[in-house]
Amino acid sequence: MNVIVLWADSKSPNLGCQMLAEGIETFLRIHTNVSDIQFISHDELKEFLCMRIFSLRRLHQIRKDLKRFDLVIDMGDGDSFTIDYGKKRFLKLCAIRVFFSLNAKKIILGPQTIGSFSGINRIVARISLYGVSAVAVRDSESLKALSRIYGGTSIIATDISWCMKKEIAQRKSKKCLINLNGLYFSLQEPEKLKIFQKTLQNLALVLAKRKYTFDFMHHVTGNVGIDNDQLWETHIISEFPTSRIFNPSKFQDARRILKDYEFSVGTRYHFCLNSLQAGTPCIPISYGKKFDSVYQNLANRKDFGEEILIEDWEVMIDRFCNLDLKENDQIQSNLIEEFAKFYKGFIVSI
């Protein structure tokens, strides 16, 4: 069987997209008799939307190339089908999906967060799913949102990165690793940003009291524009001059670094998953409901925009650092197995 995977990219500056690529390839190699997997990256997909690409000759060649593939798996541009990241991104996702729905043999959506949508956006989302054969979501709220725009086959799964090998937790030194999301600078909500900076100061006070050192790690770098964790560097150097800043180019390198820390604090979803899969507990500060897909099984989380006080940090550090990560690993593995059964049943018809 030959498969095309959209959006996941092993060379992406977003380490989360690298994890999706590794996860879906691992899943396909283990659970199917796939012979060829072709990944189409974010940049390559953007070319489909450039008018200069859409000559009749080029379109004919694309359709011809697609005929040798049995299935297209749409992982979403960063694993979420939502309007929350802006209308431009939402319309891009819809347009790409419609194109492949019209020209591929079959297309399914890999596990991701869905919606919610309202008004004209709900209509557009529903239209983009007309040709989709099946949809996998990562949480029950996404399944509810999906039911309002899609009447086809669906299943609750989990993030596909849980297919990768998990690390065995080791005894760690008293160190904390912090990830700061560059998107916070693009929210155009300066009051929320000030609150978050106060949250960081409170965390630093608690760590100092507990005699912990702390460092920082970027999980998205190299992007031109707002989606780049390096936007925090000036603030980090100014406020926390003794802390190191890690800028790994591969998610595997990030995981090796994470293994050396007792716990982490993450503001990006896949940084949190990378930490958990490295055997390092992670306290999430979320910017969207996608975090619920794993943390509803672990403990309550805090959202960006609400100040985390010193006493809150004390409680959260104690709670999250004592979580049973093995139990959560088993929950995620069970969900992957359920998705594998669903997927195998689906491809029988291909």
What's the pLDDT score for residue 136? 95
Q: Is the pTM of this model over 0.75?
A: yes
329: Cα separation from own chain's centroid: 17
Q: What's the CA gap between 34 and 261, in Å, rounded?
A: 37
Burial annotation 33-71 (CB, 10 A radius, 16+ → b, else e): ebeebebbbbeebeebeeeeeeeeeeeeeeeeebeebbb
What's the pLDDT score for residue 296? 66
What's the pLDDT score for residue 224? 60
DSSP 86-117: -HHHHHHHHHHHHHHHHHSS-EEEEEEEE---
Q: What's the CA gap between 229 and 267, in Å, rounded?
A: 10
Of the candidates 99, 81, 285, the one whose C-alpha atom is nearest the C-alpha of residue 203 is: 285
Residue spans per domain, the chain: 2-164, 173-324
Q: The CATH number of 173-324 is which of 3.40.1110.10, 3.20.20.70, 3.40.50.2000, 3.50.50.60?
A: 3.40.50.2000
What's the pLDDT score for residue 54? 54
Could you read off the pLDDT tens digit of each residue along the chain, which spans 350 residues? 899 999 999 999 999 999 999 999 999 999 988 999 999 888 788 776 664 455 666 677 778 888 899 999 999 887 889 998 888 889 999 999 998 999 999 999 999 999 889 999 999 999 999 999 999 999 888 999 999 999 999 999 999 999 998 877 676 789 999 999 888 766 667 888 888 889 999 999 999 999 999 999 999 987 666 788 998 999 999 999 999 999 999 999 999 999 999 999 999 999 999 999 999 999 988 766 777 777 766 656 666 667 888 899 998 899 888 888 888 888 899 999 999 999 888 775 65
Same topology between domain 2-164 and domain 173-324: yes
Torsion of CA 260, 261, 267, 272, to 10 degrees: 60
Q: Are 271 and 17 in contact (CB under 8 A)?
A: no
Peptide bond into 238 cis (omega under 30): no
What's the pLDDT score for residue 240? 96
Q: What's the CA gap between 239 and 232, in Å, rounded?
A: 11
Which CATH number is associated with domain 2-164?
A: 3.40.50
What's the pLDDT score for residue 261? 94
Helix (H), strand (E) at residue 71:
strand 71-74
